[in-house]
Amino acid sequence: MKKLLSTVALGIAALTIGQAASADPSRTAKLVIDGTEISTHAKGMAGGPLDELYSGWLFRSDETRALQLDDFDNPAFVFVDDGETLFNKVDGSEGKSCSSCHEAGDFKGLRPVLPRWNEAKGKIYSMENYINDCRTERMGADKWKWSKPKMTSMVALISLQSRGLPINVATDGPVADIYEKGKELYYTRVGQLDMACSNCHEDNYGNMIRADHLSQGQINGFPTYRLKNAKLNSIHARFKGCMKNIRAKPYGQGSDEFQALELYVASRGNGLSVEAPSVRN
């Protein structure tokens, strides 16, 4: 009992000293899930902004990284299961479910190439757009909100089919202008703190910001289960959070701006493996 109290008191002392905390990120840790290694490191494109590409997984602590090593430890999988239930559930006026027309496995290879140009619609398409098109045009069902649990669970299920495949978004052709716009957004300082994405995720990855280890801000792991909010987080929700942190007014989720940014950020990770659904702090 005495021991208990003295360690409690020590804890308080440590707090007041305010020692810099350092978790244990690793540039060499191996992400092996059920015997399959998923590479978390790749070479950047020649002439690209980053020589070496690192998954955000490498910047997390030992304990957080461990949560992704087994799909039975990875809490994101309760949402993948939800996604599967939704996939088989009849919804809307047509009496159809996703499984009336698709098998989840059919979507292997889709995650790495999104977002991409949709010729028929004449606009850039994220996975969320495809899902909502099927719901509204083919099922007679309501749209799902961009970052709400139904959508993130479905995105997780579909993305998982491509786990381990390298990200490979196209940046030329019809999306060339969108890519340029995304790049400009990435490097433009905004908000009261007057910062750009690049100030944190390009200039300072590997450094600490307050108590957090900065990564390259890659999106190969999305949707991500965050320890902070214990749910799946969409790419656009994360962009929104980062903008709020620099006291900037975030663009809308699903907006042209965030889709342009999504394309540009995805291209910065071309070559990194799809890791969805990942775990982050």
Partner 1 sequence: MGKPRVKVPKSAKAGEVITIKTLIKHKMESGRRKDKKTGELVPRNIINMFSASFNGEEVIKVDLHGSVSTNPYFQFQMKVPESGELAFKWADDDGNVTETTSKITVG
Partner 2 sequence: MNISRRNALALGGAALTVTLVPVSFAQAAADDAMAQAVAEFTGGADIAEGGIELTTPEIAENGNTVPVGFSAPGAKRVVLLASKNPGPVVSFFTFGALSAGDASTRIRLAGTQDVVVIAEMADGSYTQVSKAVKVTIGGCGG
- Active site (catalytic) residues: 242
- The interface partner of residue 72, options being partner 2, ligand HEC, partner 1, none and the CB cut-off 5 to 8 Å by kind, is partner 1
Shorter beta-carbon distance to partner 2: residue 45 or 66? 66
Shorter beta-carbon distance to partner 1: residue 154 or 266? 154
Phi then psi for residue 173, to 5 deg, are 60, -140
List the structure tokens of 260: 């342009």
Site for partner 2 in 242-271 (CB under 8 A): 242-245
| Size of the residue set binding partner 2 (CB under 8 A) | 46
**Residue 134 DSSP label:** I
Neighbouring CB atoms inside 10 A of 39's CB total 15
Which residues lie below 8 Å from residue 25, measured CB to CB, with a gap of 6+? 58, 59, 60, 61, 206, 213
Q: Between 7 and 46, how does the x/- string for binding to ligand HEC read (CB under 6 A)?
A: ----------------------------------------
**Residue 204, interface with partner 2 (CB under 8 A)?**
no
Neighbouring CB atoms inside 10 A of 181's CB total 18
CB-facing half-sphere around the CA of 168: CA atoms within 13 A: 6
List the structure tokens of 269: 């990770």
Which residues lie below 8 Å from residue 163, measured CB to CB, with a gap of 6+? 33, 38, 273, 274, 275, 276
Question: Of 29, 53, 76, 154, which one interacts with ligand HEC (CB under 6 A)?
Answer: 154
CB of 271 to ligand HEC, least distance (A): 15
Q: Tell me the three state secondary structure of residue 29.
A: coil
**Residue 46, interface with partner 2 (CB under 8 A)?**
no
CB of 73 to partner 1, least distance (A): 7
Site for ligand HEC in 235-264 (CB under 6 A): 238-239, 242-243, 245-246, 261
Residues found near partner 2 in the complex (CB under 8 A) = 1-16, 21-23, 60-64, 66-67, 75, 209-212, 226-230, 237-245, 281
